[in-house]
Amino acid sequence: MDKMILTRMEYYGYHGVFEEERRLGQRFYVDLELEMDLATAGQTDDLSTTINYAEIHEKVKQIVEKQSFKLIETLAECIASSLLDAYTGVHALTVRVTKPHPPFDIHFQGVTVELRRTRK
């Protein structure tokens, strides 16, 4: 299966277990791998035969920046279900959500959750 991959889309959202995270907000990165047939788009050079990735970016932005979840697992699930609902040509997808600066008193570059969902 072909894939459309969007990497390190950056958003500012209000997600976290701690009240301060949901009040002040922080940066999040989202990566997507959309499994779909890209043959027609590749052969015709016609945007209407594929998915406009600028549109995907905007849909994800609305979820990350306009909603609030305690867990990034829930954020990832919301992104996955929203995209599967909106794009019937997507057979499966992988969503990675990274919180690059979690509020812990330890040092690491961030925490990422990854989930894969398929059309039922």
User: Residue 51 — φ and ψ, nearest 5°?
Assistant: -110, 130
Q: Which of 20, 15, 2 is nearest to 79 (CA)?
A: 15
Three-state DSSP state, 43: helix
Q: What is the Cα–Cα distance from 21 to 120, expressed in whole angstroms?
A: 35
Residue 104, beta-bridge partner list? none
3, 61, 99, 120: the catalytic one is 99
**Could you confirm whether 99 is annotated as catalytic?**
yes
User: Mind telling me the catalytic residues?
Assistant: 99
